[in-house]
Amino acid sequence: MRKRALITGASRGIGAETARALAGDGYDLVLVCRRSINRLEELKKELEGTYDICCQTVLCDVSDAGQVETMIKQAGEIHVLVNNAAISYVGLLTDMSIQQWHDVMDTNLNALFYTCRLVIPQMVQRKAGRIINVSSVWGNVGASMEVAYSTAKGGVNSFTKALAKELAPSGIQVNGVAFGVIDTDMNACFTREEMESLREEIPADRIGSAREAGEMIRQMLYLPDYLTGQMIAMDGGWI
């Protein structure tokens, strides 16, 4: 039986490239996004046609615990969970509404609790499984004008390390990757000049690609079992 991976935020960017990378390795996929069902269906068609795998597409707002519970029931057996869905808020903390704060926390951090608590029991029963949480370098060092995002990603880092200790006796590997600046739609809020300024700070002298990020996540599935509870930075030497 082929293994199945569930990827949140799979309709574009890092999530879509992760799907392509895992499909290339023969994984069946459960592709999850909040609203872009047309993109998700196009990706499903591409991957099934190219790699001869099975894809399931699910609309789910991962910030909603009830929707996540329904989605996990529909997904069935999951061997790999990639928590990738995220949103950002760029602006002064004092300009941020309480609802905007909750939206960032619910999507970027609470969603990990919602997905993991429901997938873990089947992984424990099998004594095997892989959970990969997508984070950011801002979770390590913080970013001005992105306090909520930085806070949530810092929580992702701690969540990953603590859960890895909890699940290691059951043979389940939990790791995360903290990305630097990656060329995705999340950065569309920045001007060309701002992105160029960021590029100049990066020793690799370029912005990372979503394809590289997806490949990084794929490679994390093949780490030695003894490597767990780690946040691996991929940022071109920036931070």
Please report, for residues 1, 23, 114, 142, 217, the alpha-carbon distance to residue 138 in angstroms, rounded to integers and kept in the order given: 39, 29, 23, 4, 18
Annotated catalytic residue, options 27, 51, 114, 149: 149
Q: Which sign, positive or negative, has the C-alpha torsion 112, 11, 92, 134?
A: positive
CB contact set of 35 (below 8 Å; sequence gap of 6+):
59
Longest Cα–Cα distance in the chain: 52
E strand segments, 109-182: 129-136, 172-179
Q: Are strands 129-136 and 80-83 parallel, antiparallel or unpaired?
A: parallel
Q: Are strands 28-33 and 4-8 parallel, antiparallel or unpaired?
A: parallel
Contact of 177 with 237, CB cutoff 8 Å: no
Helix (H, G, I), strand (E, B) or coil at 184: coil
Tokens 């597409």, residue located: 57
β partners of residue 59: 33
Contact of 83 with 56, CB cutoff 8 Å: no
Q: Has 89 been annotated as catalytic?
A: no
Contact of 133 with 112, CB cutoff 8 Å: yes
Instruction: Kindly list the catalytic residues.
Output: 149
